[in-house]
Chain A
């Protein structure tokens, strides 16, 4: 750790020094530009155009500043259904569910909650009003890019990106639940859980601004995806500053593309598929050093501050973590913000053949989730939501009083909080456990086992059967006056990614369909990769993982009038996790069965194509991503660029994740997000 801090300080000093040098150069008074009508035009800078020239003799003879940017309106019209991960998209809203508590047998897990207690059965209706939004997304985006060429070896590149999300959705407001029986949502960051959705701020426990060079509010975001000093000297290239690093040849799947996490706060992964993650890679302060060893061999290294993947905040349109749970991101408290990722890639191109090696030592940016103490001291209510006596709540409070404490202080030591907007029934619990690829029984047991003695004092015991788990869950939801919110922590773990890739360009009859196919095979191996345990236990699941991808790309002319069609086929195999990094052990659950997991790894296939029209003024494209276990995503689209400064683009995203058991394929997670996206861009 000490070494990392020293390295961080060194990086910071180097960045500061180089940035200061750049700033000095920027503020240096430019020499007056001269007209080229002097005797020797080859030694004088030009006049006119968008660029300025400047002086300081030889050192700054190439000085230049250029700007560019665009404004873009981005809208997605929903044709699907409400996001079930949001409070108002929960399918249990407005649905009456019969809850039957069980009989606790403290200290005897074998019999705990095996026997139901119909005398205390209740019917509950999740009290949030369903919403039906027309829009999934509507933002205004502006980007400004500046290139400052200090001399032929040194330049500063800067890109600012600003987004405004008016937030005119029919969405949830945490404050609306303050008068409920459970007393409002208490735990978690109020800026994320206590009010209206916070569309942009990435906040972690203990730090409201974990992203350097980012200014964000609930409805706006300003950050700098690129702010680097770029130094080139012969075969050496050094980039210092905030930057994104993209590796690999795969354009939809990420195998070599490991350095950066993803910023999923805006349009999740539902932007234009063929743009892949160019918009989403999380920038990080980094030093990147490239060295062209020979004309064919390039080594590329980096060391960067670890920045995690940013998931959408609760109750925002593309939220992927059910809002019944409060996340405690330990990026700051776990001291992960001082960690460094680093890696090296060696690529060699020999005409028809290419090869590459990669090694990255990084903190997996996706993070691992586990139960954590809620630290919310709020007693079980003694009155039920229907106005009667909450018998089970009275029992819990009485037991606590007998021990000279209160039930809230015991609950504070467990991962749950008596609060509205949580889980209201065992049915809802198992439904969501399966949906997020967890084991509903295992998650209950680890919640109890890992938080003893508090859970035992609340009469909870681990169980072995679905029915006992169901009874126990209903017991505590009833005791809570209807709803309990879960608290989960997000931690990060180091991993070593080792990669290898080969490329080959086919040769066949010129012009034939088999000629000039670009074939690339990429593979990576990660020993002891960590995954979220499917029971949300305290220790991450560790497994060795292979990720292998094959991509075949082809440009083929099918007509004289139209430019070549770009076609790509890709296949991805992952041995232990799905496309989103979730363990396959959590696959296959249903509302009535805990996840049995799936064997044989996960496979995904992509077919995509781009067809420019003559002069590329129109461009049609389509991408299909298939999960053979029953999911498909299809995205056809059309881009129209009538003028250099205007681009109109529309694409429809269709996702069907229920061609079989939805919890056996990755795409059901996004099933709700059928939508038509429209982008109107004006660039300047």
Chain B
């Protein structure tokens, strides 16, 4: 039992004061990272009202309850504006689960180790890029566990999106029309290979000037299968990635403009390359970073991996035809840093800015909103993440520990009311299975021009 030492609004007041005063240490009652380093209970850093949804809502919502249109106003401040609308007007239902207090469930093992090992060893170089203390490429983990500003917070995400040195995600996508009908359905694979900023501290294949290789290829349906894109990211975050693509219509790999990042990859999908991980573009091609606040938040950060279900596919509900939303489990996140940035390197981008809510405990975003050029809310990029443990079902990473990764993304274009549901599944058509194990020469399998050509023939 915890002693209620502070009045009810103490936590929220403290977060607001921290934001107002520009104090950036995470935690309210005590600094967060010393707790993490000791493997202590994360809840000790926050007062009850920021740890317990029951306390926060004065008993109106408790773990096990569902947030629906009937009670969503109680937690309106804990949701991004699009998520709130989804619950309020579109029949979305969010199930509340107890808070995560064990930091090891919020990271994959190696990345957390690297974060702890390298804490305090990051710095900015003259070009504005993050480097290790010796001036070389960053050596893994979040470079800024206690981010001082929005730029640092977003660097934490950008340098290692998936937090595994290598990830191959099998993704099943459903694109929902405003009527609620399922109009498009795609299977695709998204692969990431960090060449630097790796948790193993190494530079992959001597590619120290690169940050990552990333490719995406569609495996279904037939007219889209083979559509693939390869992005070669430079370590220098001022540079645009090289972009190559294979379009079935052209039957060959072709080069694409490097700033072609705000377009739907295939018909009907609301997801752009720029949206990925809320930080889909090189960080320094965006600018005007602002920290606009700190707040508690509801986020899907645990219990959303359903390894006990066939192909890890969760049921859907809501919307016009009961198919618009994945069943989602959210918990109270005590402290999110809220960051805004503008796409200064893309004068013709349809986006004017993005707002990102980042859980300060693991520095992973829980939601992101983009705004159109008029300043109107346009799209949300709500992401679920968590440890891949579901009862007896466990999915392990290379270290032999339970994996941590993203579980789903809801990309909702609120202006056209089109929804893309991206579910991280076990396997998609074509036989590609989610893995974090580098099985053989993955560079030549998935990250070269020849690979695009070969994958395109699928």
Contacts and interface: CB of A to CB of B under 8 A. Distances in A.
Interface of A: 35-43, 45-51, 53, 62-66, 68-70, 143, 145, 147, 149, 152-153, 157, 226, 228, 230, 232-237, 239, 244, 246-249, 251, 274-276, 278, 281, 290-292, 295, 298, 300, 347, 349, 351, 354, 503, 505, 510-511, 515-516, 518, 554-557, 560-561, 563-564, 612, 614-617, 619, 641-645, 647, 681, 683-684
Nearest first, the 9 A-B pairs at minimum CB distance are A64-B431, A511-B347, A68-B222, A48-B310, A46-B426, A516-B257, A644-B184, A149-B431, A557-B348
Interface in B237-271: 242, 244, 248-252, 254-260, 262-264, 266-270
Contacts of B346: 510-511
A250 to B, nearest CB: 10
B256 A555 contact: yes
Contacts of B445: 152, 232
Contacts of B444: 232, 234-237, 292
B394 A42 contact: yes
Given A36-B312, A147-B431, A298-B450, A560 B373 contact: yes
A290 B267 contact: no
Contact of A39 (B260, B392, B454): B392
A68 B223 CA distance: 9
Nearest to B440: A152
Contacts of A237: 444, 450, 454
B392 A50 contact: no
B288 interface: no
B222 A247 contact: no
B395 interface: yes
Contacts of A292: 444, 448-451
A564 B260 contact: yes
A234 B449 contact: no
A449 B40 CA distance: 101
A642 B254 CA distance: 27
A227 B312 CA distance: 33
21 contacts: A36-B393, A37-B308, A37-B392, A42-B403, A45-B433, A66-B431, A70-B222, A234-B444, A239-B457, A292-B449, A295-B448, A516-B258, A554-B257, A555-B260, A555-B263, A564-B263, A615-B268, A617-B267, A641-B184, A641-B268, A643-B184
Interface of B: 172, 175, 181, 183-187, 207, 219-223, 225, 232, 242, 244, 248-252, 254-260, 262-264, 266-270, 307-313, 345-350, 372-373, 388, 391-397, 403, 413, 416, 418, 425-431, 433, 435, 439-441, 443-445, 448-451, 453-454, 457-458
Nearest to B263: A563
Given A50-B429, A292-B448, A560 B350 contact: yes
Nearest to A46: B426
Contacts of B388: 41-42
A230 B457 contact: yes
B454 A147 contact: no
- Most chain B CB atoms below 10 A, which of A50, A51, A70, A557: A51
Contacts of B394: 39-42
A349 B183 CA distance: 38
B321 to A, nearest CB: 13
B312 A66 contact: no
A615 B264 contact: yes
Contacts of A35: 308, 310
A69 B429 CA distance: 13
B184 A147 contact: no
Nearest to A236: B444
A351 B441 CA distance: 23
Given A147-B219, A281-B251, 13 more contacts: A36-B307, A37-B391, A39-B393, A41-B395, A42-B396, A46-B311, A143-B222, A237-B454, A516-B259, A564-B263, A614-B416, A615-B418, A644-B186
B139 to A, nearest CB: 22
Contacts of B451: 292
B264 A70 contact: no
A153 B451 CA distance: 12
B32 to A, nearest CB: 30
- Most chain A CB atoms below 10 A, which of B269, B346, B444, B445: B444
A644 B185 contact: yes
Nearest to A554: B257
A46 B433 contact: yes
Nearest to A291: B450
Contacts of A616: 263-264, 266-269
A353 to B, nearest CB: 10
Contacts of A62: 431, 433
Nearest to A275: B249
Contacts of A614: 416
Contacts of B244: 349
A145 to B, nearest CB: 6
A555 B346 CA distance: 13
Contacts of A642: 183
B405 to A, nearest CB: 11
Contacts of B266: 616
Nearest to B389: A41
A51 B257 contact: no
A234 B450 CA distance: 11
- Most chain B CB atoms below 10 A, which of A49, A612, A641: A49
B261 to A, nearest CB: 10
Nearest to B397: A42
Contacts of B311: 36, 46-49
A499 to B, nearest CB: 14
Contacts of A300: 450
A634 to B, nearest CB: 20
A554 to B, nearest CB: 8
Contacts of B427: 45-46, 49, 51, 53, 64
Contacts of B431: 51, 53, 62-66, 147, 149
Given A46-B312, A145-B225, A41 B393 contact: yes
Nearest to B403: A42
A629 to B, nearest CB: 29
Given A249-B254, A616-B267, A40 B396 contact: yes
Contact of A147 (B232, B248, B430): B430
Contacts of B185: 644
Contacts of B350: 557, 560-561
B450 A46 contact: no
B426 A36 contact: yes
B51 to A, nearest CB: 30
B210 to A, nearest CB: 9
Contacts of B373: 560
Contacts of A43: 396
B183 A145 contact: no
Contact of B392 (A38, A232, A236): A38
Contacts of A563: 262-264
Contacts of B207: 295
A276 B250 CA distance: 7
Nearest to A247: B252
Contacts of A69: 222
Contacts of B450: 235, 237, 290-292, 298, 300
